[in-house]
């Protein structure tokens, strides 16, 4: 701020200030179904919302794994080009089954600014 003359004709000196913006970490804001949810419909889509845009230029979908005990339901993984990933079951999930959603640190997921997402594991159980 440039110095100015105050009402009483005194000169107020230039003032300089600075601040640092804290970097937003690359994390999950929300996941549906929620961790430890029960009674989840067998056709429910898994939706993950991130704090930053995903670097889709290097993501290929193998970063996301959904596994259920002794069942094989394939999922199609898509993202909106921004911060949301949706995993749609190709066939209905098995009833009364616990599923785990993994985002692996082996096939790391990165944000556009190069931040790596830490390993994530949540679980839910389908309806009876």
Spatial distance between the Cα atoms of 55 and 71, rounded to a whole number of angstroms: 31
Q: What is the pTM assigned to this prediction?
A: 0.77
Q: Which of the residue ranges 61-70, 80-89, 90-99 would you say has the lowest mean pLDDT?
A: 61-70
Widest pairwise Cα distance in the chain:
83
Closest residue by Cα to residue 67 from 121, 17, 4: 121
pLDDT tens-digit map of 8-61? 666 666 767 777 777 888 999 999 999 999 999 999 999 999 999 988 888 777
Q: Count other Cβ atoms within 10 Å, centred on residue 107.
A: 14
């Amino acid at each position: 701020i440039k110095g100015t003359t105050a009402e009483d004709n005194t000169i107020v000196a230039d003032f300089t200030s600075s601040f640092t913006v804290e970097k937003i970490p690359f994390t999950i804001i929300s996941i549906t179904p929620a961790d430890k949810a029960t009674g989840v419909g067998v056709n429910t889509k898994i939706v993950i919302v991130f704090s930053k845009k995903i670097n889709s230029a290097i993501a290929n979908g193998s970063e996301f794994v959904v596994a259920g005990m002794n069942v094989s339901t394939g999922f199609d993984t898509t993202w909106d080009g921004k911060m949301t990933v949706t995993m749609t079951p190709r066939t209905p999930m098995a009833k009364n089954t616990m599923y785990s959603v993994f985002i692996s640190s082996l096939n790391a997921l990165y944000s556009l600014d190069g931040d790596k997402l830490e390993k994530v594991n949540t679980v839910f159980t389908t309806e009876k």
